[in-house]
């Protein structure tokens, strides 16, 4: 460690500080009466204390700082990670396997501690430090582990990563292609068993989570059988403990695969629980994969959305793809001049560049207004702005001159009609610009902006996306075209379209849903996974239609056995939220209550918790994947009984070296405690000596 003294002003000013200190001491003591009766050493000590005190105070006015160069040494980091998913111990002797894997992993950790900084993690359906060797995770996601390592060890001296797994994954990307982002060798420890043993498996069930009352909906059951040639089994489906389907299955080979389509009648509304079961055969390695649970929500009808445009445009496909990610919606795209359907069949109409310059005020606009259908206007280069201004949407654009602006989206912080996720809030500002009509935007006080316009580097209060309501008819206006670019940007950043889809879906849901006029509203999903926490949000409105959360709100969850679980909502800034934790697989009902004034409000609903049976679908470890994963990064795969070989290999790597680096630290001299102590000591010394000499 080295340090130096620097000042804001030229360092030669310190000479002036010494001169000022000397002059002050000379001026004070040259003819002082107290010097006549004191020893010379005492007089000189008092003068020197005064000189040093004044000089030091003057020097502090120069803003002196101590610059310290700190050198640090960092050992190479070796990351050890073990897959704690259920597939690791899909064996009848699971307790023995747990102990063996724990002993091997801890042995490796102990052997590395002396020469390396060892960090150990467990992963499966989530990543955490310090493995427990419980092997209870319901999923295996290598991608989340890679992402966590990227964040945790950015710019650190990571020498190697060791992953202990069976090579089976069911979430995220293929693990073979992940470690290239980390730029370190990835060694693998091959867990699990590659022996193909007798097993009859319901590998997968393909189905839609939503069906419609009175219709028949399809289920596709995928069966796999290993080492079961010549066996006979029965596939059955039960609803409310009543068998509704049965079929005999003849297994013709040791590597059997079959797809069995089933049609089920949706006779009752609500969340329906179906149990799919295949007969258990003697000698199977596990019976946990012979049964699967399926929860399907049966609703009365599907909502239809109509997209009308004057010409083909990539926005139309982007909107359709985003909306139809929900099974609740069916989208039709048509041109305004050829549409001859009934508007009454639709819950929402999206008008792209309508009214248009070429066609002016089309009769369809009058029909939409007369039918009181919610409408979403999307403006663009071919929009007839004059005709649009007459539609009473809450927005009027003047002096447009048929020019366009490149406009970026900026989130409106005061928006309150519905909630959007935090990732979407952070991402919106990174999306590309839309083409918006140039002009002066005038709005009335009854609009609710979700996005404002940012033109160049200037964030304005001109709305880009806003909502309004007139006589019970909801309207939205997106003052620009090019929403397809947002979808592409989202995919480019995250390899999926979740955030852009969320924005479109939330807009469509708000516009198409029948308004819940109750002052107390509960928002929750209808289906949760068994490893997912149950989250409920609630809103309470007073008589002035303002959000309030002063009263205490409670929630009661009941299972099929009428057992009740009582909770109290937590207050947020203006609303309520509740994390009820994770629940077992099954159907549940909930009832939320709150008392506002002298009125008691209640909301009821139901939801399901679905089983995650991904880990039992495959009982054969994939060591080939682990070998490929290691080889791509210049490493190797080892078996649990070869931990000493892995330890030796790691210690022989020349690139796992200790590194040293230095960084500078600046600190104001006036902030150092001993400077203050020195000043007080000088003052105290001089005062004591003057007091001793009889002076005040």
Same domain assignment for residues 318 and 400: yes
**498 and 545 in a common domain:** no
CA distances, 54 to each of 57, 60, 411, 683 (Å): 5, 10, 57, 10
User: Which band of pLDDT confidence, cut at 50, 70 and 90, is reported for residue 449?
Assistant: very high
Q: Please give the Cα distance from 374 to 351 (Å, whole number).
A: 11
Q: Are 370 and 399 in contact (CB under 8 A)?
A: no
For residue 511, count other CB atoms closer than 10 A to its CB: 22
H or E element, residue 366:
helix 363-371
Give yes or no: residues 345 and 452 share one domain: yes
Which of 512, 541, 564 is at the close of a domain?
512
The alpha carbon of 182 is separated from its chain's Cα centroid by a whole number of angstroms, namely 21
Q: What is the pLDDT of residues 23-42, one digit of tens each?
A: 888 877 776 665 666 677 77
Q: With pLDDT > 70 as the criterion, what percentage of the chain qualifies?
A: 95
> CA-CA distance, 635 to 180, in Å (whole number)?
12
Q: Which domain holds residue 601?
A: 520-610
| Confidence tier at 73 by pLDDT (50, 70, 90) | confident
Say if CB 104 and CB 132 are below 8 A apart: no
Phi and psi dihedrals of 370, rounded to 5? Answer: -70, -30
Residues 130 and 104 in one domain: yes
User: What pLDDT does 386 receive?
Assistant: 86
Distance CA 218, CA 367 (A): 37
Other residues' Cβ atoms within 10 Å of the Cβ of residue 144? 18
Q: Which residues contact 22 (CB under 8 A, 6 or more apart)?
A: 51, 55
The reply to whether 658 falls in a domain is: no
**Rounded distance between C-alpha atoms, residue 484 and residue 405, angstroms:** 17
Q: Give residues with Cβ within 8 angstroms of 611, minimum separation 6.
A: 292, 293, 530, 585
Q: What is the pLDDT of residue 208?
A: 83
What average pLDDT does range 378-400 have in this prediction?
A: 86
Q: What's the pLDDT at 319?
A: 94
Residue by residue, DSSP assigns 168-225 as: ---BSS-GGGSGGGTTS-EEEEE-S------EEEEEEEE--SEEETTSEEEEEEEEEE
Residue 440, pLDDT score: 87
Running DSSP on this structure, what letter comes out for residue 414?
Answer: T
* Pairing mode, strands 374-378 and 473-478: parallel
User: What is the per-residue pLDDT for 665?
Assistant: 77
pLDDT beyond 60 at 254: yes
Residue 362 in tokens: 């089309």
The CATH number of the domain holding residue 343 is: 3.40.50.880
The last residue of a domain, from among 445, 478, 512: 512
CATH number at residue 562: 2.60.40.2550
- Residues 422-450 have a mean pLDDT of 89
The pLDDT-based confidence of 163 (bands split at 50, 70, 90) is very high
pLDDT band of residue 359 (cuts 50, 70, 90) is low
Residues 334, 478: one domain?
yes
Whether 357 and 391 share a structural domain: yes
Q: How sure is the predictor about 63, in pLDDT bands with cuts at 50, 70 and 90?
A: confident
Model pTM? 0.62
Q: CATH no. for residue 206? A: 2.60.40.10
- Is residue 547 situated within a structural domain? yes
Whether 659 is covered by a domain: the verdict is no
How far apart are alpha carbons 373 and 474 in whole angstroms?
Answer: 8
The reply to whether 615 falls in a domain is no
Helix (H, G, I), strand (E, B) or coil at 71: strand
Do residues 585 and 487 share a domain? no
Q: Rounded to the nearest 10 degrees, how much is the dihedral formed by the CA atoms of 23, 25, 31, 33?
A: 170
What pLDDT score was predicted for residue 33?
60
657 within domain boundaries: no
CB atoms within 10 A of CB 177: 13
Same domain (yes/no): 449, 342: yes
In this structure, is residue 341 part of a structural domain? yes
| pLDDT average, residue stretch 592-600 | 92
Burial class for 291, CB neighbours closer than 10 Å (0-12, 13-18, 19+): middle
Same-domain status, 499 and 449: yes
31 vs 175 pLDDT, higher one: 175
What 3-state class would DSSP assign to 104?
helix
Task: Please indicate, yes or no, if residue 268 is contained in any of the structural domains.
Answer: yes
Q: Which residues pair with 436 in a beta bridge?
A: 405
Number of structural domains (the chain) is 5
Q: What is the pLDDT of residue 613?
A: 76
| Predicted pLDDT of residue 233 | 93
Determine, yes or no, domain membership for 437.
yes
Summarised one tens digit per residue, pLDDT across range 526-561 is: 888 888 899 999 999 888 778 899 999 999 999 988
Check whether 682 has a pLDDT greater than 60: yes
pLDDT over threshold 70, residue 1: no
pLDDT at position 177: 81
Give percent of the chain above pLDDT 90: 35
Average pLDDT (244-264) is 92
Q: Which of 451, 477, 512 is the last residue of a domain?
A: 512
Q: Do both 443 and 322 map to the same domain?
A: yes
* pLDDT recorded at residue 342: 82
464 and 322 in a common domain: yes
Mean pLDDT score of the chain, rounded to an integer? 86
Q: Does 507 share its domain with 366?
A: yes
Query: Cβ of 470: how many Cβ atoms within 10 Å?
Result: 12
């Amino acid at each position: 460690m080295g340090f130096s003294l620097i000042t804001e002003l030229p360092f030669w000013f310190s000479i002036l500080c010494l001169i000022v200190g000397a002059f002050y001491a000379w001026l004070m003591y040259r003819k002082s009466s107290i010097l006549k009766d004191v020893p010379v050493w005492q007089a000189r000590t008092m003068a020197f204390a005064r000189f040093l005190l004044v000089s030091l105070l003057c020097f502090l006015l120069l803003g002196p700082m101590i610059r310290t160069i700190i050198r640090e040494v960092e050992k190479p980091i070796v990351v050890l990670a073990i897959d704690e998913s259920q597939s690791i111990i899909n064996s009848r002797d699971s307790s023995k396997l747990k102990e063996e894997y724990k002993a091997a992993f801890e042995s490796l950790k102990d052997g590395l501690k002396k020469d390396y900084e060892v960090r150990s993690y467990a992963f499966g359906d989530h990543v955490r430090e310090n493995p427990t060797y419980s092997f209870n995770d319901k999923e295996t996601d290598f991608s989340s582990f890679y992402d966590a390592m990227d964040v945790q060890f950015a710019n650190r001296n990571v020498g190697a990563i060791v992953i202990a797994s069976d090579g089976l994954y069911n979430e995220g990307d293929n693990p073979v292609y992940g470690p290239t982002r980390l730029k370190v060798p990835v060694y693998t420890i091959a867990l699990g068993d590659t022996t193909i043993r007798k097993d009859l498996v319901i590998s997968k069930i393909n189905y839609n989570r939503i069906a419609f009352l009175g219709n028949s909906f399809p289920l596709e059951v995928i069966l796999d059988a290993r080492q079961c040639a010549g066996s006979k089994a029965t596939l059955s489906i039960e609803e409310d403990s009543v068998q509704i389907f049965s079929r005999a299955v003849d297994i013709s080979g040791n590597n059997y695969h079959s797809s069995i389509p089933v049609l089920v009648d949706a006779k009752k509304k609500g969340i329906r629980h179906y149990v799919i079961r295949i007969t258990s055969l003697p000698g199977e390695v596990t019976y946990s994969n012979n049964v699967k649970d399926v929860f399907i929500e049966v609703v009365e009808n599907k909502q239809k959305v109509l997209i009308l445009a004057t010409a083909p445009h990539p926005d139309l496909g982007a909107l359709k793809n985003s909306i139809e990610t929900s099974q609740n919606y069916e989208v039709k795209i048509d041109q305004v001049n050829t549409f001859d359907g009934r508007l009454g069949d639709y819950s929402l109409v999206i008008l792209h560049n309508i009214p248009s310059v070429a066609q002016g005020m089309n009769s369809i606009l009058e029909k939409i207004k007369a039918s009181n259908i919610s409408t979403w206007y999307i403006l663009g280069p071919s929009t007839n702005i004059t005709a649009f201004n007459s539609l009473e949407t809450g927005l009027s654009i003047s002096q447009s001159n048929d020019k366009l602006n490149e406009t970026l989206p900026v989130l409106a912080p005061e928006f309150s009609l519905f909630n959007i996720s935090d990732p979407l809030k952070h991402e919106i500002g990174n999306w590309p610009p839309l083409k918006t009509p140039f002009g002066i935007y005038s709005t009335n006080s009854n609009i609710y902006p979700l996005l404002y316009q940012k033109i160049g580097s200037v964030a304005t209060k001109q709305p880009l996306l806003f909502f309004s309501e007139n006589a019970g008819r909801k309207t939205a206006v997106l003052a620009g075209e090019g929403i397809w670019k947002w979808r592409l940007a989202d995919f480019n950043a995250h390899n999926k379209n979740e955030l852009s889809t969320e924005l479109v879906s939330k807009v469509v849901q708000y516009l198409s849903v029948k308004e819940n006029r109750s002052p107390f509203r509960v928002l929750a999903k209808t289906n949760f996974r068994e490893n997912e926490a149950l989250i409920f949000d609630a809103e309470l409105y007073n008589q002035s239609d303002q959000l309030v959360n002063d009263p205490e709100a409670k929630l009661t969850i009941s299972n099929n056995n009428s057992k009740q679980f009582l909770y109290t909502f937590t207050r947020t800034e203006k609303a309520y939220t509740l994390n009820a934790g994770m629940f077992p697989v099954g159907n549940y009902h909930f009832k939320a209550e709150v008392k506002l004034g002298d009125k008691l409000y209640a909301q009821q609903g139901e939801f399901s918790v679905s089983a995650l049976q991904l880990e039992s679908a495959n009982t054969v470890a994939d060591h080939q994947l682990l070998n490929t994963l290691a080889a791509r990064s210049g490493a190797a795969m080892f078996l649990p009984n070869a931990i000493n070989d892995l330890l030796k290999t790691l210690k022989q790597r020349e690139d796992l070296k200790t590194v040293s680096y230095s960084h500078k630290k600046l600190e104001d001299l006036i902030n150092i405690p001993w400077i203050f102590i020195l000043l007080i000591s000088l003052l105290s010394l001089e005062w004591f000596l003057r007091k001793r000499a009889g002076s005040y």
